[in-house]
A = this chain, B = another copy of it.
Amino acid sequence: MPTDTSPPVTGRPDPGVLLAPPARPGDPLDAIDTPALLLDLDASDANVAALHAQAVAAGLAVRAHGKAHRCPRLALRQIAAGAVGICVQKVGEAEGFAAAGVRDILVTNEIVSPDKCLRLARLATLPGMRIATCVDDPLQVERLAAACASAGSRVDVLIEVDVGQQRCGVETPSQALAIAEAIDRAAPHLALRGLQAYHGRAQHLRGAGERAEAVARAAAVAREFRAALEQAGHAVSEISGGGTGSFPNEAGAGVWTELQAGSYALLDLDYRANAVDPAAPRLRQALGVMTTVISRRAAHAVLDGGLKSFAVDSGLPAMRDPRWKVVGLSDEHTVIRPLEGAAPLALGQRVILDPGHCDPTVNLHDWIVAYRGNTVEAVWPVLPRGASR
């Protein structure tokens, strides 16, 4: 096959027509082009109000996790409802939220490539921007410092501590101390803000007691590291972590200063499989995916969304109408079977499904169709796939 003679890469990957939104404000739900991501605003607003109220009552700030929805318009609503800012996992996400006007962003992740460090350092030059990221190795500190020196900016740093997640993070106080000293040496370009103490797995333990125990262990580790840093003269002004699945535990621990909840504005089947903590407000399912019946017979119907519309890492989606059972997905199809009492579905009929895992499901869609009752209220763009870089 010949050597590629394509023109040089410039501009956009696709004809604009393909990015047309699936609905317009004022449309009835039955006019939405499918597959489409839906957000029930009444449910989402109620969830946001409930979690924010509980965090405020416990003296915690809410730093809404933008990784859950990647939607700048939704982040601005969470900030209007009291969140101090947002957190994200990627520099590309930080750039997208910053472009929409968000001015307090924490990257809850390690950055190591010089190019990405420079992009973050440049974001820090935006007027009014307060920005931070995590480190667990002196090399990350060194590269961030060099990038900030080059950009003439300052980035705050949280030392990530492994409080049970067994992923990133330092394991011993002496590692944390060495990093804190490296951060101090990089002043004024870097400043130690505190600790990242995130235990994502704890949020998905099914029993309320298991979650409480895991968070208590995480809190003990965070306390130990805070004490070691403070004894050595390093101020620890923030300890950031927690999330939707375990926030009553973090709120009650007296260690965390801010809560990194994201899924609470959306919800999914995996969080709903948790045994309810009596201390937590009931969160409602706000996120859905609308599909259309494109084929049907007596024993099943076939919907026009599959693995390219639903992430299945935490299980299959479920029909919002519980009289229909999802039996399988392929790239662009979901097969559903009727249970006792199911009303027949017509060819062309639209149905809504609840996703297994909200974050990677939103990442499969370009738009969030926000609705109340039977009417579309707004259509919000989602950051592109490239925001993972």
A residues at B contact (CB < 8 Å): 1-4, 6, 8-9, 11-22, 24-25, 33-36, 41, 45, 48-49, 67, 73, 77, 80-81, 89-90, 92, 95-96, 99, 109-113, 115-116, 136-137, 139-140, 166-169, 171, 200, 292-297, 300, 302, 304-305, 307-309, 311-313, 329-333, 335, 347-348, 357, 359-360, 363-367, 370, 377-389
When the two chains form the complex, which single residue of B13, B357, B378 contacts A384, counting CB atoms closer than 8 Å?
B13
The answer to whether B348 touches A95, judged by C-beta atoms less than 8 angstroms apart, is no
CA distance A308 to B364 in the complex (A): 9
Copy tally for this chain in the complex stands at 2
The answer to whether B307 touches A348, judged by C-beta atoms less than 8 angstroms apart, is no
When the two chains form the complex, which single residue of B13, B21, B378 contacts A19, counting CB atoms closer than 8 Å?
B13
Q: Given contacts A96-B15, A112-B294, A295-B167, are A385 and B360 in contact (CB under 8 A)?
A: no
13 further A-B pairs in the complex, CB-CB below 8 A; given A13-B384, A14-B96, A308-B359: A9-B378, A13-B383, A14-B99, A14-B381, A15-B99, A18-B95, A19-B384, A19-B386, A22-B386, A33-B115, A110-B294, A167-B330, A307-B357
Q: Given contacts A8-B25, A80-B1, A115-B33, are A14 and B377 in contact (CB under 8 A)?
A: no
When the two chains form the complex, which single residue of B1, B41, B330, B348 contacts A48, counting CB atoms closer than 8 Å?
B1
In the assembled complex, the CB of A6 is this many whole angstroms from the nearest CB of chain B, namely 5
What is the chain B residue whose CB lies nearest that of A372?
A: B3
In the assembled complex, the CB of A134 is this many whole angstroms from the nearest CB of chain B, namely 9
What is the chain B residue whose CB lies nearest that of A361?
A: B307
CA distance A294 to B134 in the complex (A): 11
In the assembled complex, the CB of A200 is this many whole angstroms from the nearest CB of chain B, namely 7
Q: List 16 A-B contacts (CB under 8 A).
A: A3-B377, A12-B16, A14-B99, A15-B95, A18-B92, A18-B383, A22-B389, A36-B389, A67-B332, A112-B294, A136-B295, A139-B347, A139-B348, A312-B312, A366-B385, A367-B386
